[in-house]
Amino acid sequence: MNFQNIPRKNTLIKKAIIPKFDYLVSVDYEQIEYRLLAYYMAVALDDYTMVNNFIAGVDPHAVTAAIMLGRECKTDEDRQYGKTGNFSVIYAGGVPTIQRQMAKAGVVVSKTEAKKLLKKLHEGMPGVKELMEMLSEEARRKGFVYDICGRHHHPDTSIPLHDALRKLLNALIQGGAAGLIRDAVVAVEDGMQEFGMVSHTINVVHDELVIDAVHDELPTLAEYLPIWMGNSTLEPVVPITVEMEYSNTNWAEKTPYERIT
């Protein structure tokens, strides 16, 4: 079974996944793709606006919502605009993306309104366009760009070159996030073995690790998982935070263990 394809709200399948030991522990990166965007903005353009917002604990979706709406983000619906805008930036989406993502949140946005929102987004975040142009130039010169973990990303030759170059930022961010969780799998398993733990990783879903854990080992996991899941390149620029949830029944009934920073 591909666990990444289980719908987020599908509890029926998740209830079938139970711990062998005492608890299922889920630990995942918080807003890692936006943190990667903040990192690239800082190191490539010397623009630390997003980094400083993360350090101050400011919600990036609320910031983007204020840009798109031209006023303070006050409601969950307002925040959804910001989340959709950030989604559009990272995935190189356009007007259809804005409409589709807002529709998922139950908000109907006309094509005209979506164009206006997208225009405000680009005007309020000019560094993103500059970063995309920088990546395009690098790809034209070298034939590839490389992400924070050193993986090379080549323009997609199956689509027009203009579109392929526009999507390089997405490749950089998603590739970097994949590299971080890949390294975290190894680091977490090595760390648990070093402590002689019985607990062990049983699954990886996007940016989330699922661990079958023993009760007595929970405090140590809570203390060391943020360390094991850290990254020596990213963290000096933008903080990484992870969130831990656990359940003694099944994967669908997780509750927060504590906020780990």
Indicate whether 134 and 218 sit together in one domain: yes
Q: Is residue 40 part of a domain?
A: no
Cβ–Cβ < 8 Å for 60, 34: yes
Q: Look at residue 250 and tell me if it is in a domain.
A: yes
In a domain, 224, yes or no: yes
- CATH number, domain of 249, equals 3.30.70.370
Structural domain containing residue 207: 1-30+127-261
Which residue, 124, 153, 173, sits at the end of a domain? 124
Q: Is the domain of 61 the same as that of 147? A: no
**58 belongs to a structural domain:** yes
Show which of 124, 148, 183 is a domain's final residue.
124
Task: Write the CB contacts of 112 (distance below 8 Å, at least 6 apart in sequence).
Answer: none
Residue 134 has pLDDT above 50, yes or no: yes
Chain segment 171-198, per-residue pLDDT in tens: 999 999 999 999 999 999 999 999 999 9
pLDDT given for residue 260 in this prediction: 52
Same-domain status, 136 and 119: no
Residues 132 and 181 in one domain: yes
pLDDT digits (tens, 9 = 90+) for 12-41: 888 989 999 999 999 999 999 999 999 999
| 102 and 61 within one domain | yes
Whether 242 and 131 share a structural domain: yes
Quote the pLDDT of residue 261.
Answer: 45
Give percent of the chain with pLDDT exceeding 90.
74
102 within a domain of the structure (yes/no): yes
**In a shared domain, residues 63 and 114:** yes
Q: Please state the rounded mean pLDDT for residues 107-133.
A: 91
E strand intervals along the chain: 23-29, 145-146, 152-153, 200-205, 208-213, 242-247, 255-260
Task: Say if residue 48's pLDDT is above 70.
Answer: yes
208-213 vs 152-153, strand pairing mode: unpaired
| 191 and 244 inside one domain | yes
Higher-scoring residue by pLDDT: 33, 261: 33
pLDDT at residue 166, rounded to an integer = 82
Output the pLDDT for position 13: 85
Give the model's confidence band at 259: pLDDT under 50 very low, under 70 low, under 90 confident, else very high: low
Domain shared by 199 and 139, yes or no: yes
Domain final residue, candidates 56, 91, 124: 124
Contact 260, 242 (CB under 8 A): yes
Find the mean pLDDT for residues 132-155. 92
61 within some domain: yes
On whether residue 119 sits in a domain, the answer given is yes
Comparing 4 with 107, which gets the higher pLDDT?
107
Domain count within the chain: 2
- φ/ψ of 178, rounded to 5, equals -65, -40
> Same domain for 109 and 146?
no
Q: Are residues 149 and 97 in the same domain?
A: no
79, part of any domain? yes
Residues 158 and 228 grouped into a single domain: yes
pLDDT, position 176 = 93
